[in-house]
């Protein structure tokens, strides 16, 4: 399956991209810049070949932190926004105007950072690891959904997101953007 191929409806009935690389093989890796996200800025997320795959558009004229994730053709994949009048460490992810997930910092996490991703319609994810240093895993039950790491790149302030086959790439990248913004707000 190619990067731009649609893989059927994602959570919330949207058209999320599905990971898996060419021919449905192994995971596909994306590259993000650590300090790329700030409100009012646009930044590109590149695939493992250095091609611009997604754009994160930071909306400047909003009261709350808001980002729009678009594919390379400018189609909205997800929007990520801070939840107002709620616990500080919570962000919502929408697709097509409907909430598809909520990212929330776990209340108790003694040794590692831990976040819960509540996906509308079930199949929730658990994020554990070192969010500050971009070394963490996203799991759905016992199955790995994605891994985030700086070890794959020698470029300063760059980290990778490796998405397992069959996963909603847009949702995984939106969760990573939300975690980056929540980390920055701590």
Please answer whether residues 133 and 146 qualify as being in contact, where contact means their C-beta atoms are separated by less than 8 angstroms.
Answer: no
Q: Is 26 within the bounds of a domain?
A: yes
Neighbours of 13 (CB within 10 A): 13
pTM beyond 0.85: the answer is: no
Q: 39 with 65: CB under 8 angstroms?
A: yes
**Structural domain includes residue 3:** no
Would 175 be classed as within a structural domain?
Answer: yes
* Domains: count for the chain: 1
Residue 36 has pLDDT above 80, yes or no: no
CATH for 109: 2.40.160.200
DSSP β-ladder status, 76-82 and 90-95 = antiparallel
Q: How many residues does the chain have?
A: 186
What confidence category does residue 153 fall into, taking pLDDT thresholds of 50, 70 and 90?
confident
Which residue has better confidence, 32 or 110?
32
Could you tell me if residue 2 is inside a domain? no
- Distance, CA of 89 to CA of 70 (rounded, Å): 24
4 located within any domain = no
Residue 83 pLDDT = 66
Between CA 163 and CA 165, with CA 164 as vertex, the angle to 5 degrees is: 120
161 within some domain? yes
For 64-106, write each residue's pLDDT tens digit. 567 888 899 999 999 888 765 555 678 999 999 999 999 998 8
How distant is the alpha carbon of residue 167 from its chain centre?
12
Pairing of strands 76-82, 66-71: antiparallel
For residue 7, what pLDDT is reported?
Answer: 35
Q: Which domain holds residue 98?
A: 11-184
Q: Quick one: pLDDT band at residue 10, thresholds 50, 70, 90?
A: very low
Of 26-30, 101-105, 144-148, the range with the lowest mean pLDDT is 26-30
Separation between Cα atoms, residue 174 and residue 163, nearest integer Å: 12
Is the pLDDT reported for residue 144 higher than 60? yes
From the list 3, 1, 8, the residue with the least C-alpha distance to 173 is 3
- Residue 152 belongs to a domain: yes
**Considering only 6-20, 66-80, 132-146, which range has the smallest mean pLDDT?**
6-20
Does a structural domain hold residue 6? Answer: no
User: Has residue 158 got a pLDDT over 70?
Assistant: yes
The β-bridge partners of 31 are 46, 160
CA distance 180 to 58: 13
């Amino acid at each position: 399956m190619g990067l731009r191929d649609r893989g059927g409806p994602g959570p919330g009935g949207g058209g999320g991209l599905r990971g898996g690389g060419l021919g449905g093989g192994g995971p596909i890796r994306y590259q993000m810049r650590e300090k790329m996200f700030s409100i009012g800025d646009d930044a590109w997320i590149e695939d493992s070949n250095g091609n611009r795959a997604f754009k994160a558009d930071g909306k400047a004229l909003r009261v709350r932190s808001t980002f729009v994730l678009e594919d390379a053709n400018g189609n909205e994949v997800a929007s990520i926004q801070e939840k107002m009048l709620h616990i500080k460490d919570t962000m919502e992810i929408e697709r097509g105007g409907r909430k598809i997930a909520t990212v929330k910092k776990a209340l108790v996490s003694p040794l590692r950072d831990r976040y819960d991703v509540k996906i509308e319609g079930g199949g929730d994810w658990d994020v554990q690891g070192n969010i500050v240093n971009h070394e963490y895993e996203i799991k759905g039950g016992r199955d790995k959904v994605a891994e985030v790491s700086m070890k794959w790149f020698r470029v300063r302030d760059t980290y990778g997101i490796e998405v397992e086959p069959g996963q909603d790439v847009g949702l995984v990248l939106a969760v990573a953007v939300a975690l980056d913004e929540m980390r920055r707000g701590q």
